[in-house]
Amino acid sequence: MKQIINPPPSKWESLLARPSASYDALEPIVAKVFTAIESRGDTAIREFTEEFDKVKLTDFKVSAESLAAAEDEVSAALKGAIQQAKNNISCFHTAQKTDRVFVETMKGVACWQEKRPIEKVGLYIPGGSAPLFSTLLMLAVPAKIAGCSEIVLCTPPDQKGEIPAVIRYTASLCGISQLYAVGGIQAIAAMTLGTESIPQVYKIFGPGNQYVTVAKQWATRLNVSIDMPAGPSELLVVADDSADPDFIAADLLSQAEHGPDSQVIFVTTVIEMLDKVASAVKAQLEVLPRKAIAEKALANSKMIYFSEEEHAIRYINAYGPEHYIVCVKNEDRYVSGIQNAGSVFIGNYTPESAGDYASGTNHTLPTNGYSKQYSGVNLDSFLKAITFQKISKEGIQTLGKTIELMAAAEGLEAHKNAVRIRLNKIADEN
């Protein structure tokens, strides 16, 4: 990790950059896949699965028998851990339910808001070298709590064309029956367009690599919503000498091992911490099974010293990290000062891994600085807020003149007449 000392704001632009390929460069392949699946459906999915995943599949849907069999294929200890995580995630997201909002804005004019579930949602679970069953929990649990009536789950097949048992078990535990062995761009395209086998959905959730991110953004052109443009994982840790360098190194490496395009940032106001953390990272890296992946991510990562806390906080907000760990004596200042972050972890004993797996918060979060305008996935992500209103005869008489004047001022006579015709009839009745 490169060390930077007291960089002035004029030099921050390069320190805010992520190691992401240009989305423009990826759009041609995304367009090709979407066009092919729109015209040839399942046949195109099979071809792309063979091309990208090196697997020949005839049937994408995972059978009910395969889902049930996963119960005996996963260890009791892991099943217990998954169940505990599911309970915590359910507890936190159930607490996010809100009551109907009702107000009478004036006598005879009632307005209220109610939330309804998005009927059809698609969940994308990355696979590859680390099948993320934890992401399945993060998406399926709130989707179920929200009451989504159709939940479609896509995840890449392994080299044998199968879905790992832990994914199948978690899907079954969450009550998901529509599980398809399809990954990457073709999965997003299938859920966007619908095919002979895979249903079309209204909104797509889930992280992925840069190809998946661009595919999700392409889906929005076709009237399918997405949770957020989530790309490669990232973490920023801010710490002073009250923090344990070994803890910091472990947290940095926990994100670096996600993928070669991940990024981790260490910020400190104690210059001695740079070398201490660097030494701890080097020592822990040597024994990591995913050392080669983490090394590539670390090459894109940075350690930055600021002599002033105010500059450190300004930089952190400019970066807008997906995950933000705060390990400082003056934690209130850093916590209250954060405006842009996906999820915040406070104190020496709150590893980012806790949020990734089992504390209860959601780990599907905005990356690449999108925390400036996006929230992480939550219960409301699976709901729509619908407004209602009801106006009585007395209410329209009180409010009508205001509506007429405003409509006339905008030159919309039909709008004005929709009120005038009612007021005239009321007048005739009297």
> Is 415 annotated in the active site?
no
Is residue 126 within 8 A of residue 156, CB to CB? The reply is: yes
Tokens standing for 71? 């119960």
Q: Among the options 234, 257, 322, 404, which is catalytic?
A: 322
> Is 73 annotated in the active site?
no
Q: Among the options 258, 323, 363, 404, which is catalytic?
A: 323
How do beta strands 203-205 and 178-181 pair?
unpaired
Is residue 300 within 8 A of residue 19, CB to CB? The reply is: yes
- Mind telling me the catalytic residues? 322-323
